[in-house]
């Protein structure tokens, strides 16, 4: 287990009109940009003698300099091989002339509640520290850890700031998980900590060694929800279990395998699933191109299907367009929605319109933001990026109304240009 020190450059625009709401509204944040170096500290785990290291994305993500310090005080510069904000994992590489000490990965599916574990890390930057506890829970999801899609192992071993990216190991010294977050009211450990399971870490290491620069996450192409007591009663289940499919992309691999809305996924590869993050985790620990065995209920019958694992298709083309100068809406850049872009941005299946990818010029101060979904402009429906260009060129008016979605909620802006 190693200590990690990361530096990143943070740019901040200082407005000359700060404090004057009228001028800020008129001119926006047009001040000079100042840069400063932000330091972060955390922990990591060496997973191979040739210097493969795992840590958290929130420790090293966007870092311009990463320094790894071993217990014997040897220091190495590290480079990022693979990083993923959604999973909060990052794979690093350090170069050493000698073989490095490393930890074996344990099959995290075989971990049991009550097992003794050790949390090892660099709390508050004081140096490598070991704390002990037990496995308090498994398959934790939907908790306020900052990772809405997370799936975690819970432990009562004390985890504090600086422990992020460190090791949760069993009594045989095998890596059970990577410590990532806590639930706390005090800012420190209250005995409720969470670790990313080792089986997902193993997939990240495999993809990093294969040269992937982005984690290739299997695409489900569905919207699912946990079956609660009310839903269980409606479906005629004796106990609430599984994930019910409430919506599905027509190109979803689940649709290809014969599942449809209203079906209830009970297990993936023999492992029971009771929440969408748990189902996605079961998919993510398997390689793209393979198939998973899904057991599900359909019209009261228990069936099985082989679901192919694939990345979200990047079709139809995004066709990124920018409204040119000299016309209304100048500086607005939009892209067509497709399954891959929806998955990247967390946009619900079935959402129509185009997404704002960039804004420059006067529009930047008129309320629109990157990530907004545009559905209508001046009452004209927007389905493609070409629709935006057509409206901008055709409309002979200074008054504009833009309707769309932001964070799943409707918005409507009226402005003059």
Active-site residues, by number, are 58, 88, 164
How many CB atoms sit inside 10 A of residue 346's CB? 12
153, 197 contact by CB (below 8 A): yes
Q: What angle do CA 388, 394, 397 make, to 5 degrees?
A: 105
Q: Which of 265, 287, 289 lies closest to 277 in space, CA to CA?
A: 265
* Contacting residues for 20 by C-beta, under 8 A, at least 6 apart: none
Do 339 and 310 contact (CB within 8 A), yes or no? no
CA distance 222 to 115: 35
| Contact in structure between 142 and 243 (CB atoms under 8 Å) | no
- Calpha distance 125→298 (Å, rounded): 53
- 336: tokens are 């067509």
Structure tokens at 314: 């990047």
- Tokens 């409507």 -> residue: 412
Number of H helices, E strands in the chain: 8, 25
Distance CA 208, CA 90 (A): 9
Q: How far from 139 is each of 27, 142, 200, CA to CA, in Å?
A: 49, 10, 13
Q: Which residue's entry shows tokens 């027509």?
A: 250
CA atoms of 64 and 395, how far apart (whole Å): 46
- The 3-state DSSP composition of the chain as helix, strand, coil percent (nearest 5) reads 15, 40, 45
Query: Under a CB-based contact definition with an 8 Å cutoff, are residues 143 and 279 in contact?
Result: no
Whole-angstrom distance, CA of residue 199 vs CA of residue 177: 8
Q: Are 265 and 294 spatial neighbours (Cβ–Cβ below 8 Å)?
A: yes
d(C-alpha 12, C-alpha 35), whole Å: 6
């Amino acid at each position: 287990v190693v200590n990690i020190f990361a530096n990143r450059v943070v740019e901040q625009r200082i407005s000359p009109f700060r404090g004057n709401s009228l001028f800020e509204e008129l001119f926006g944040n047009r001040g000079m940009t100042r840069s400063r170096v932000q330091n972060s500290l955390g922990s990591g785990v060496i997973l191979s003698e040739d210097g493969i290291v795992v840590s958290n994305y929130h420790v090293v993500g966007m870092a311009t300099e990463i320094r790894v310090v071993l217990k014997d005080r040897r220091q190495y510069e590290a480079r990022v091989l693979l990083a993923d904000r959604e999973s909060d994992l990052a794979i690093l590489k350090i170069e050493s002339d000698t073989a490095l000490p490393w930890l074996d990965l344990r099959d995290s599916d075989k971990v049991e509640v009550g097992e003794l574990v050790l949390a090892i890390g660099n709390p508050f930057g004081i140096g490598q520290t070991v704390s002990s506890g037990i496995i308090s829970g498994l398959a934790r999801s939907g908790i306020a850890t900052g990772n809405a899609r997370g799936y975690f192992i819970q432990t009562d071993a004390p985890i504090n700031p600086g422990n992020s990216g460190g090791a949760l190991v069993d009594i045989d010294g095998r890596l059970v998980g990577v410590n990532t977050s806590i639930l706390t009211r005090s800012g420190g450990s209250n005995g409720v900590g969470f670790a990313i399971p080792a089986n997902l870490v193993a997939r990240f290491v495999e993809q990093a060694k294969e040269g992937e620069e982005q984690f290739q996450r299997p695409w489900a192409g569905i919207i699912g929800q946990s079956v609660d007591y009310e839903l269980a009663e409606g479906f005629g289940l004796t106990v609430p279990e599984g994930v019910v499919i409430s919506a599905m992309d027509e190109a979803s691999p689940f649709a290809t395998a014969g599942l449809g809305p209203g079906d209830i996924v009970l297990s993936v590869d023999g492992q029971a699933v009771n929440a969408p993050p748990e189902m996605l985790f079961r998919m993510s620990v398997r390689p793209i191109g393979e198939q998973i065995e899904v057991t599900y209920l359909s019209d009261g019958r228990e069936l099985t299907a082989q679901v192919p694992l694939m990345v979200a298709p990047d079709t139809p083309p995004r066709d990124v367009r920018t409204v040119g100068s000299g016309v209304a809406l100048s500086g607005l850049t939009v892209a067509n929605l497709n399954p891959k872009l929806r998955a990247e941005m967390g946009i619900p299946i079935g959402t129509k319109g185009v997404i704002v990818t960039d804004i420059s010029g006067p529009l930047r101060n008129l309320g629109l933001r990157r990530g907004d979904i545009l559905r209508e402009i001046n009452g004209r429906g927007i389905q493609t990026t070409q629709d935006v260009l057509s409206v901008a060129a055709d409309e002979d008016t200074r008054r504009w109304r833009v309707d769309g979605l932001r964070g799943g909620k409707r918005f409507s802006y009226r402005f003059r240009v």
